[in-house]
């Protein structure tokens, strides 16, 4: 009998109420939205909030690491090893400064792009070969330092757009599991949710 495929969908962010609605936590927002739509609650252990669900006959683990962004890899590696998950069945959802708000990119692998959470995962897994769903947050509008910008909430005029982005990101996670990465890339990557399609 063929071994059941297990998928790990990881949203990156920082634990704690002070980080809840910040740009750096958009990965958490996507996982929380999908869990809500699936009507599952996220439980907590000492490294992550997580939930398990059967989605279209596949076993899916949703994970929000509680190790803080820079140590995300520790939680991802632990869950990968605990459930025997192949790298090709891991999708990491994270914010991306180099994409404008309203754009998303599913990519097969690659470097960290300066993202410390992704860098930690690459180091912990000893591999760059895992999929990412990059969610554009754009660059600071008012000269803020990048380190501060990512730890602040979205500008008020961006809130409507980020809600749509989170919905599309959830769709991307669903397609990654149900149809595979190529289908998900072709469906999600061309979309432009920037107001007015700018």
List, edge to edge, every strand of the sheet that includes 48-55.
43-44, 48-55, 58-65, 6-11, 90-96, 131-136, 104-107
The CA distance from 83 to 186, in Å, is 29
Q: Is 94 a catalytic residue?
A: no
Nearest alpha carbon to residue 10 among 87, 60, 83, 62:
62
Catalytic residue among 23, 24, 49, 80: 24
Q: Is 198 exposed, middle or buried (0-12, 13-18, 19+ CB in 10 A)?
A: exposed
Question: Catalytic residues, which ones?
Answer: 24
């Amino acid at each position: 009998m063929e071994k059941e495929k297990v998928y790990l969908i990881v949203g990156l962010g920082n634990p704690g109420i002070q980080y809840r609605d910040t740009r750096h936590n958009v990965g958490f927002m996507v996982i929380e939205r999908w869990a809500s739509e699936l009507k599952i609650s996220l439980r907590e252990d000492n490294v992550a909030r997580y939930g398990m669900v059967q989605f279209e006959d596949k076993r899916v683990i949703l994970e929000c690491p509680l190790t803080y962004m820079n140590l995300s890899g520790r939680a991802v590696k632990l869950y990968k090893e605990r459930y025997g998950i192949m790298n090709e069945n891991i999708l990491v959802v994270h914010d991306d400064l180099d994409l404008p708000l309203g754009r998303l990119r599913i990519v097969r692998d690659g470097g960290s792009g300066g993202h410390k959470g992704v860098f930690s995962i690459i180091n912990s897994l000893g591999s760059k070969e895992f999929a990412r769903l990059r969610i554009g947050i754009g660059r600071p509008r008012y000269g803020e330092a990048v380190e501060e910008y990512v730890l602040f909430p979205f500008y008020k005029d961006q809130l409507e757009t980020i809600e749509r982005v989170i919905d599309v990101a959830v769709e991307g996670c669903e397609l990654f599991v149900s149809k595979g990465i190529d289908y998900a890339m072709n469906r999600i990557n061309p979309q432009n949710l920037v107001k007015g399609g700018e």
